[in-house]
C-alpha cells in the first residue's frame, strides 16, 4: 500500500500538499473535503477514486461517483482513464456508477422498474416539456382550482400559473412534503395546491412520465423498500459526491440512506460557492454534514493553483466582509478558511485587478470593448476566447450593449444563453413559412401579441416571391384550406419542415452548421408541439385549432420566454469569440481574463415558496430569512471573482452597490491603469476540457454504415425524426424478452400470462414516450415472436448468466459502447447471444458480415471483463417459428477480433472527422423511402 501511495505522490506531484494526500489516501469513513476555488477539486476526487480502485478496496461496480453536471461527470470519467494510464494501469471502468444525481437515479430506477410506479421507456420531462405536460392536463391540474378569474386565487394567465405552480410542485417533492397535510391546511391556497399536486403526480405516473424532482423521489422510495433497498446499499461500498453545496434535501436523504451500512461517504464542495437555492439546493447540507456522523474527517484544500495573488486577496476580503455569524449561537454559516496562492504559482507585478466605470451601460460596454481590443492588439491574450464577461443575466436587455460594442470593433461574441434563438434569420424564415402554410395571416396576426415579430418574419420571404419555395408554400396552404368533411392530408406538422429543405434558402441553411443546429432545435420544438397538443396529422376538423394552438399558445409561450441557442459540449468555449455568460454558467470554468459586470444592480431572491411551505418541511429553518439575500449575493459574486487566472476587471455602468466596497475600493480604473507593466504580460490560453465521444455499435456505427448523411442529420446535428413507428416493433420484442431473462435471474416464475402483461406494459410505455402505435396484426406478430422464443427455449433459460449487459471499450480518442442481449454459461463456458427481431437472412446477405463484426467486438470486450474467450457466438432471429431456424451460430474466430476492431475504428474516425461523404448511396426502396431528408437529397441528386 505504501508503495502505491508513493507512486501516486511522485506521478501526480503531491509532495508539497499534505492536505491533498489526506484527501486521496484516507478513504474509509465519512469525509468532508472543503475545496476552495482553483484548489484542484476534480483532480483530487479523481485520484481518491483511483486509489480506492487500485488498492482493491472496491470494484468499479461498488463505487458511485456523482457530479453536478453531465459535462463534469464526463470529465471525471475521462480523467480516471487518463490518470490510470499515467500510472501504467489499464482499468475497465464501464461498471463504475458515474454521472449526475439524476442519471444515477435513472440507472437504479431502470434496474428495479418493477418496484416503481413507472414502466420501461418512461420519459423524463425537461423544463419545456414539463410546462407542456401541465398545459396538456390543465383541465385536471389547474381549471378545478380557479377562483373567479384567478387560478388558485392568485394568477390570471394560464401560462404564468403553469410557470409558478411548477416551482411549488418541485419544492413539495424535493422537501418531501406530504400533500395530504397541505389539503388539510386551513389556508385555501395550500388546500388547492395539495389537491392539484396529487392530480399532477397521478397524471405523471399514468402517462409514464417524471420530472427531475420525482425522478429523485422514486429512487428514494426504492431505497426505502426493505429487500431492494438493502440489496442496493450492500452493492455500494463507496459514495463520492462532488459539488455537495448545491444538493437539495431529498438528494441529501438519498446519500445518507445509501451509506448506512458502511458510512464510506466522501462529499466535496465549498459553501462559499453555493449558487442554486433557486433550484431547491441548500447550503445547509454541506454545513451540517459533520453532524450526521461520528468521527468525520474534514480536509480543507486551500492552495489555489489558478489565480494571481492580488485576485485571491481581493475575493478573500470580499467574502470575509459579510457577517456569517449565527445569532442563535450555533455553527456559523461559513466554515473558517482562507484561500491562499499555491507555492508553485507566480504572481508578477502588474495591475491584476482594476475597474471599468462608465457613465451608463453603453459607455461601460464601449470601455469593455476597448479593453478587449487592447489586450489582443498587445498580444497579452492569444485569442478572444481568453476573455469572459460575466453578467447576472445575459438576456438581450443586458447583453446586447456589450455584443454591439464588440461588433463595432469587429470582435465576435459568443452568448448562446441570451434567449435570442428566435432572432436568427433561419428561425424567422421557418416560422414565416408555417404562418403561410397554416393560414395564420392578416387578422390573426393583428390580434397576436407578437404581430411585429410575425410581420418582420414574413418580410424575409419577400425576395423569394417568384421561386419554387413560394409555389410550394402556396400549394400546401391551398391544400389545407380546401380540406372539408372528413378529408385529411397524410402530413404532420414536422413533415413541412423537412419538405422546406428542398428549397432555397433552407437548402443552403443546412450547409451552415450554426443555422442547421438552429433548424434542428426547431424540429424538436415541432415534435414537442405534436406530442403535447395531440395533433398528429392535419384534417379538415382540426386545421383551425392547429394554427391557433401553434401560434397563439405554443409559439406565444416560446416567444414570451425566449429560447437559448445551441451549445456544443465538444466545443464549449469556441475559439475566436469573447465569451459572454451568466455567473452561474461560469461555475467550474476559468479564463485568463474575467470581467464581472452587474455590480450596480440588486436582484431579488425567491423566498415566497419557502415561506408558505416551510411549516410542512421535515426540518427547521436554517439561515435567517432577512440575511439570505446577502448570503446568496456574496456567494454568487465570490464565484465570479474567483474565475480569472491573470486579470479580474470589475465593471459597472453606474455607481457600484456599497455591498462591493471591500473588493472595489482603492482600485485603478481603466483606461488609467499601469499599461506598460500590463503590456509586458503574455497570458496563455487554457484548453477547455472536451469529453471523449461515445459511439454505440448499434445506434451510431450501424447508422453511419447505412447512410453517412442520415448520421450527420440525426446523430450529429440531432434533428428529430418526424416518424418513429418503424423502431417500435424491434424495441418491444427485445424488451419483453429481456423481461423474461431478468425474471429468471431474479428467481421468479415465468409463464405466458406474465409475458403478455409485461408485453402490454412495455407497449404502453413506448407509446407514452412518443412511438407510433402498431397495427393490430403487427402487435400480434410481436407478441407471437416473444412467446415463441419462450416456448422454444425453456431449457436454455437456466443457463442465463446476465441480460442486457452494458459493455464499453475505451480507445485513445473515443469510447465504443453497446449492449449484449444475453450471456449463457455452463461448465465455466461463456456464450454470447444477440437478438434480431426479423427473419433469418440468406447466407450471403451483407448484414451477416456486419453482425459478425459486431459480435466479435462484443466478444473481445467480454474476454477482457471475464478473463476467458466466449465458447460460442449466436444470433437469434425471433421471427422464425422453430429454434433450429432461429438460432444461428457465428463461429468464434480470435483473428476476427482485430479485424472487427480495425473496422469500427475506421468508421469511428470518419465520424470524428465529420466525413459524411456518400461513397455508396443507400437502398432507396428501404432506407431513403422513410427518411425525412429524402426531399433534400433528391435536390442534391443523391
Residues that constitute the known binding site: 35-42
Q: What number of H helices and E strands is found in the chain?
A: 40, 26
For residue 528, the tally of other CB atoms under 10 A from its CB is: 19
Collect all residues with Cβ–Cβ distance below 8 Å to 256 and sequence separation of at least 6: 292
SS (H, E, C) 186-198: CCHHHHHHHHHHH
The total number of residues written for the chain in this structure = 942
CA dist 690 and 673 (Å) reads 36
Please give the Cα distance from 556 to 659 (Å, whole number).
39
Q: How far is CA 500 from the centre of its chain?
A: 30
Question: What is the H or E stretch that residue 529 is in?
Answer: helix 513-533
Locate 734 and state its grid cell: 427485445
CA 910 to chain centre: 26
Q: Measured between alpha carbons, how far is 531 from 553 in angstroms, rounded to an integer?
A: 14
Q: Across-strand partners of 297?
A: 31
Kindly report the three-state secondary structure assignment for every residue of 856-915: HHHHHHHHHHHCCCCCEEEEEECCCCCHHHHEEEECCCHHHHHHHHHHHHHHHHHHHCCC
- The rounded distance, in Å, linking the Cα atoms of 457 and 837 is 47
Binding-site sequence positions for ATP: 35-42
3-state secondary structure (DSSP) of residue 920: coil
Residue 62, number of CB atoms within 10 A of its CB:
18
Measuring CA to CA, which residue among 21, 28, 20 is closest to residue 6?
21
Output the nine-digit C-alpha cell for 729: 416493433
- 790-810: buried (b, 16+ CB within 10 Å) or exposed (e) per residue? bebbeebbebbeebbbebbbb
Quickly list DSSP for 567-609: --TTSSS-TTSEEEEEHHHHTT--EEEEEE--TT-------HH
Torsion 53-58-62-67 (CA) sign: negative
Q: What is the dihedral of CA 447, 453, 454, 455, to 10 degrees?
A: 90
Q: What is the DSSP letter of 209?
A: E
Task: Label the pairing between strands 814-826 and 693-696.
Answer: parallel
CB atoms within 10 A of CB 834: 19
Alpha helices for 175-308 (secondary structure H): 179-183, 188-206, 212-224, 226-235, 249-258, 284-287
DSSP state of 813: S
What are the grid coordinates assigned to 503, written together?
Answer: 428549397
CA atoms of 555 and 132, how far apart (whole Å): 12
User: Which residue matches cell numbers 402556396?
Assistant: 474
> How far is it, in rounded angstroms, from Cα 574 to Cα 685?
12
Positive or negative torsion for Cα 277, 279, 282, 283: negative
Q: Which three cell numbers stand for residue 490?
A: 397524410
Burial class (CB in 10 A: 0-12, 13-18, 19+), 114: middle
Q: Give DSSP secondary structure letters for 718-736.
A: -PPPS--HHHHHHHHHHHH
Question: What gap in Å lies between CA 912 and CA 815, rounded to an integer?
Answer: 12
Maximal CA-CA distance, the chain? 86
Q: Would you state the cell numbers that stand for residue 201, as one nine-digit string?
A: 403526480
Amino acid at each position: 500500500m505504501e508503495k502505491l501511495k508513493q507512486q501516486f505522490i511522485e506521478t501526480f506531484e503531491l509532495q508539497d500538499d499534505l492536505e491533498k494526500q489526506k484527501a486521496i489516501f484516507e478513504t474509509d469513513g465519512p469525509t468532508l473535503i472543503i475545496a476552495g476555488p482553483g484548489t484542484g477539486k476534480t483532480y483530487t476526487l479523481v485520484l481518491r477514486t483511483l486509489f480506492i480502485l487500485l488498492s482493491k478496496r472496491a470494484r468499479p461496480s461498488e463505487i458511485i461517483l456523482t457530479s453536478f453536471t453531465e459535462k463534469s461527470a464526463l470529465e471525471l470519467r475521462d480523467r480516471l482513464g487518463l490518470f490510470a494510464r499515467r500510472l501504467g494501469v489499464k482499468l475497465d471502468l464501464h461498471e463504475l456508477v458515474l454521472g449526475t444525481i439524476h442519471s444515477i437515479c435513472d440507472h437504479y430506477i431502470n434496474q428495479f422498474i418493477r418496484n416503481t410506479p413507472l414502466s420501461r421507456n418512461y420519459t423524463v420531462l425537461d423544463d419545456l416539456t414539463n410546462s407542456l405536460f401541465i398545459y396538456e392536463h390543465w383541465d385536471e391540474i389547474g381549471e378545478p382550482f380557479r377562483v373567479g378569474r384567478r387560478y388558485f386565487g392568485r394568477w390570471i394567465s394560464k401560462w404564468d400559473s403553469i410557470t409558478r405552480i411548477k416551482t411549488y410542485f418541485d419544492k413539495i417533492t424535493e422537501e418531501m412534503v406530504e400533500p395530504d397535510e397541505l389539503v388539510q391546511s386551513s389556508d385555501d391556497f395550500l388546500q388547492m395546491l395539495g389537491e392539484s399536486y396529487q392530480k399532477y403526480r397521478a397524471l405523471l405516473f399514468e402517462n409514464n412520465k417524471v420530472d427531475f424532482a420525482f425522478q429523485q423521489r422514486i429512487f428514494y422510495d426504492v431505497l426505502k423498500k426493505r429487500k431492494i433497498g438493502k440489496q442496493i446499499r450492500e452493492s455500494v461500498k463507496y459514495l463520492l459526491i462532488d459539488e455537495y453545496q448545491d444538493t437539495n434535501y431529498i438528494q441529501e436523504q438519498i446519500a445518507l440512506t445509501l451509506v448506512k451500512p458502511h458510512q464510506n461517504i466522501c462529499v466535496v464542495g465549498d459553501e462559499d460557492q453555493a449558487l442554486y437555492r433557486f433550484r431547491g439546493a441548500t447550503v445547509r447540507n454541506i454545513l451540517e454534514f459533520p453532524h450526521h456522523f461520528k468521527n468525520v474527517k474534514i480536509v480543507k484544500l486551500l492552495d489555489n493553483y489558478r489565480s494571481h495573488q492580488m485576485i485571491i486577496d481581493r475575493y478573500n476580503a470580499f467574502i470575509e466582509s459579510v457577517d456569517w455569524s449565527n445569532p442563535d449561537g450555533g455553527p456559523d454559516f461559513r466554515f473558517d478558511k482562507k484561500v491562499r496562492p499555491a507555492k508553485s504559482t507566480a504572481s508578477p507585478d502588474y495591475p491584476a485587478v482594476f475597474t471599468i466605470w462608465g457613465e451608463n451601460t453603453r459607455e461601460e460596454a464601449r470601455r469593455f470593448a476597448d479593453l478587449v481590443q487592447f489586450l489582443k492588439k498587445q498580444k497579452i491574450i492569444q485569442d478572444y476566447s481568453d476573455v469572459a464577461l460575466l453578467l447576472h443575466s445575459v438576456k438581450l436587455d443586458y447583453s446586447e450593449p456589450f455584443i454591439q460594442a464588440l461588433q463595432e470593433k469587429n470582435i465576435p461574441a459568443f452568448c448562446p444563453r441570451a434567449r435570442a434563438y428566435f432572432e436568427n434569420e433561419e428561425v424567422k424564415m421557418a416560422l414565416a413559412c408555417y404562418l403561410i402554410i397554416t393560414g395564420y395571416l392578416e387578422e390573426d396576426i393583428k390580434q397576436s401579441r407578437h404581430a411585429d415579430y410575425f410581420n418582420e418574419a414574413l418580410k424575409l420571404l419577400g425576395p423569394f416571391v417568384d421561386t419554387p419555395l413560394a409555389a410550394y408554400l402556396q400549394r400546401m396552404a391551398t391544400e389545407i384550406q380546401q380540406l372539408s368533411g372528413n378529408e385529411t392530408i397524410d402530413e404532420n406538422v414536422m413533415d413541412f419542415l423537412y419538405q422546406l429543405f428542398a428549397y432555397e434558402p433552407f437548402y443552403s441553411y443546412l450547409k451552415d452548421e450554426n443555422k442547421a443546429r438552429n433548424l434542428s432545435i426547431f424540429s424538436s420544438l415541432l415534435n414537442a408541439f405534436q406530442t403535447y397538443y395531440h395533433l398528429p396529422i392535419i384534417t379538415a376538423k382540426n386545421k383551425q385549432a392547429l394554427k391557433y394552438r401553434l401560434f397563439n399558445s405554443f409559439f406565444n409561450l416560446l416567444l414570451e420566454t425566449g429560447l437559448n441557442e445551441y451549445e456544443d459540449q465538444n466545443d464549449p468555449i469556441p475559439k475566436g469569440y469573447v465569451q459572454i455568460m451568466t455567473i452561474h454558467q461560469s461555475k467550474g470554468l476559468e479564463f485568463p481574463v474575467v470581467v464581472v459586470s452587474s455590480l450596480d444592480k440588486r436582484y431579488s431572491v425567491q423566498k415566497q415558496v419557502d415561506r408558505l411551505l416551510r411549516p410542512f418541511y421535515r426540518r427547521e429553518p436554517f439561515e435567517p430569512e432577512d440575511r439570505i439575500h446577502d448570503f446568496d449575493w456574496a456567494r454568487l459574486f465570490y464565484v465570479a471573482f474567483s474565475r480569472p487566472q491573470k486579470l479580474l476587471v470589475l465593471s459597472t455602468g453606474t455607481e457600484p452597490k456599497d455591498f462591493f466596497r471591500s473588493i472595489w475600493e482603492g482600485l485603478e480604473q481603466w483606461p488609467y491603469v499601469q499599461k506598460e507593466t500590463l503590456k509586458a504580460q503574455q497570458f496563455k490560453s487554457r484548453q477547455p476540457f472536451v469529453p471523449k465521444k461515445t459511439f454505440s455499435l448499434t445506434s451510431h456505427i450501424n447508422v453511419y454504415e447505412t447512410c453517412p448523411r442520415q448520421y450527420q442529420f440525426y446523430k450529429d446535428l440531432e434533428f428529430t425524426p418526424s416518424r418513429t413507428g418503424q423502431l417500435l416493433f424491434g424495441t418491444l420484442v427485445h424488451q419483453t424478452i429481456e423481461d423474461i431473462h431478468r425474471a429468471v435471474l431474479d428467481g421468479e416464475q415465468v409463464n405466458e400470462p406474465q409475458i403478455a402483461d409485461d408485453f402490454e406494459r412495455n407497449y404502453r410505455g413506448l407509446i407514452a414516450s412518443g412511438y407510433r402505435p402498431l397495427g393490430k396484426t403487427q402487435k400480434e406478430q410481436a407478441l407471437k415472436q416473444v412467446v415463441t422464443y419462450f416456448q422454444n427455449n425453456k431449457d436454455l433459460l437456466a443457463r442465463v448468466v446476465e441480460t442486457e449487459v452494458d459493455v464499453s471499450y475505451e480507445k485513445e480518442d473515443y469510447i465504443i459502447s453497446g449492449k449484449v442481449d444475453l450471456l449463457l454459461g455452463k461448465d465455466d463456458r461463456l456464450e454470447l447471444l444477440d437478438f434480431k427481431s426479423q427473419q433469418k437472412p440468406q447466407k450471403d446477405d451483407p448484414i451477416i458480415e456486419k453482425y459478425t463484426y459486431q459480435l466479435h467486438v462484443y466478444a473481445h470486450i467480454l474476454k477482457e471483463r471475464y478473463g476467458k474467450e466466449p465458447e460460442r457466438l449466436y444470433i437469434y432471429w425471433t421471427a422464425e417459428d422453430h429454434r433450429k431456424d432461429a438460432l444461428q451460430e457465428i463461429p468464434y474466430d480470435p483473428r476476427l477480433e482485430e479485424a472487427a476492431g480495425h473496422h469500427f475504428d475506421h468508421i469511428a474516425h470518419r465520424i470524428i472527422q465529420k466525413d459524411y461523404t456518400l461513397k455508396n448511396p443507400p437502398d432507396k426502396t428501404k432506407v431513403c423511402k422513410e427518411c425525412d431528408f429524402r426531399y433534400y437529397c433528391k435536390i442534391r441528386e443523391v
